[in-house]
Structure 1
């Protein structure tokens, strides 16, 4: 089942085209990542998907209905880019008031809120003002706020920007746990390792969709060279094709390493060629 279905969407600001004829899907229980440079139209597309903006052309459906449908809004959790919890409220009050805004009953908030505090390791910070939290704890609080209505779909616009490596990986584990529960997610990110670690499918976006596929499919399609590192002399060789690779390896003595291009290298190659 398509949780998100985007068909031929265009978004323009005067003569500036932010999104050009975009079609994409997110399936039930799937994490999909949007990758693209600054100004590629990722946030513009995401805002249309959760209903803050409307497309000039095309159609977006969430669980078969328009994003602006009041019932659909209750089934979505959103963490916008550069968003923070309300600094003058405690962690618990941020979660509680977000639940009330989404129409969740006080009793459900009490039970589910306690569960989220436990799950996200926020119990000890329950009565701490949000402005006094670290970046990682603020992000966890935002995730709790997004989950208080038990959404079927979670939309995260660069969820780990500004976090240190440890906090980033903590957020990754939370998202992976939610995926195991069957929750669907759409995320934008600048981090290629994040997309490769989390996403079932990836869209390279630069105003329009350039490439789509699983990380493995994208690598298979674009990884047309190998890098060989000869540790005996420190030399690095780039070769195309398996026959060339075999010939080179036959002439090496000592330790060496063979690797295919990373997703980041493929991404940079594809984005450059698309300009």
Structure 2
């Protein structure tokens, strides 16, 4: 079952095209990452998926319905970009009031909220004002707020931007544990290591879909890309195809190394070609 279906979606602001003919899918129980630089249209697409924006053309289905359907809203958890919990409320009050806003009963919030405090290691911070939390703890609180209604789909827009390396990895572990439990997730990021670590499937996005697939599939698509390092002079040659590879090797007099590209190198080259 698909929890997200995006079919030939365009989003334009006058003559400026933010999203161009995008088609993508998210299956139940998987993490899908939208990877691209700032200004690539990731947030614009995500806002259409959770119903804040409407496509100029095309169709989006979330849990089989239009994103604006009120029944869909009940089963969505969303963490927008650069969002923070309410600073004047405690961790528990942030979780509680978000639950009430999403229509959960007091009993449901108490049961689910206590589980989330334990699961996200927030119990000791229960009565701490959100403004006094570290960046990583604020992000955990946002995750708890997004999960209080036990959503079928969690959408995270740049979930680790601004966090230090340790806090980033803490968030990664939380998301990976959630995936083991069957949570469906869509996340946007401009960190390639984050996408490779977390995602079952990655979409390279720069206004339109440039490349898509699992990390392994993407590497296989570019299996004829090579990097040749000439150790005699320190030069690095990037070549495509075995014939070009042979030509370069024939010109080298001394020690050399041939490497297959990493996912990061593929991404950088693909985005450079788009520009």
Q: Distance in 2 between matches of 1:174 and 1:236?
A: 42
In 2 relative to 1, CA 107–208 (structure 1 residues): closer, same or farther, beyond 3 Å? same
Is 1:69 aligned to residue 69 of structure 2? yes
Q: Distance in 1 between matches of 2:230 and 2:174?
A: 39
1:81-130 CA distances to partner (integer Å, 9 max, x unpaired)?
00000000000000000000000111111011011111111111000000
Provide the residue aligned with 1:180 in structure 2.
Answer: 180
Q: Distance in 1 between matches of 2:5 and 2:112?
A: 29
Provide the residue aligned with 2:93 in structure 1.
Answer: 93
1:11-55 CA distances to partner (integer Å, 9 max, x unpaired)?
111111111111111001111100111111110000000001111
Q: Distance in 2 between matches of 1:117 and 1:252?
A: 60
Is 1:42 aligned to residue 42 of structure 2? yes
Is 1:14 aligned to residue 18 of structure 2? no
TM-score of the pair, normalised by structure 1:
0.91
Q: Distance in 2 between matches of 1:230 and 1:91?
A: 56
Is 1:160 aligned to residue 170 of structure 2? no
- The DSSP-based 3-state class of the residue aligned with 1:55 is coil
* Conserved? CA contact 1:223–1:266, under 8 Å: no
- What is the Cα deviation at residue 225 of structure 1? 3.6
- What is the Cα deviation at residue 258 of structure 1? 6.2
Q: Distance in 2 between matches of 1:85 and 1:142?
A: 6
Is 1:201 aligned to residue 201 of structure 2? yes
Q: Distance in 1 between matches of 2:35 and 2:201?
A: 11
- What is the Cα deviation at residue 235 of structure 1? 4.5
1:204-245 CA distances to partner (integer Å, 9 max, x unpaired)?
1111111111111111112434446699x8946547567969
Q: Distance in 1 between matches of 2:185 and 2:259?
A: 31
TM-score of the pair, normalised by structure 2:
0.91
Q: Distance in 2 between matches of 1:9 and 1:39?
A: 17
* Conserved? CA contact 2:95–2:145, under 8 Å: yes
- What is the Cα deviation at residue 259 of structure 1? 4.2
Provide the residue aligned with 1:263 in structure 2.
Answer: 263
* Conserved? CA contact 1:62–1:72, under 8 Å: yes
Q: Distance in 1 between matches of 2:90 and 2:228?
A: 53
- What is the Cα deviation at residue 182 of structure 1? 1.0
* Conserved? CA contact 1:87–1:130, under 8 Å: yes
Q: Distance in 2 between matches of 1:110 and 1:257?
A: 60
* Conserved? CA contact 1:225–1:238, under 8 Å: no
- What is the Cα deviation at residue 262 of structure 1? 1.9
Provide the residue aligned with 1:272 in structure 2.
Answer: 272
Q: Distance in 2 between matches of 1:229 and 1:174?
A: 39
* Conserved? CA contact 2:135–2:163, under 8 Å: yes
Provide the residue aligned with 2:83 in structure 1.
Answer: 83
Provide the residue aligned with 2:105 in structure 1.
Answer: 105
- What is the Cα deviation at residue 203 of structure 1? 0.7
Structure 1 unaligned residues grouped into runs of 5+: none
Aligned length: 271
Q: Distance in 1 between matches of 2:229 and 2:166?
A: 29
* Conserved? CA contact 1:10–1:20, under 8 Å: yes
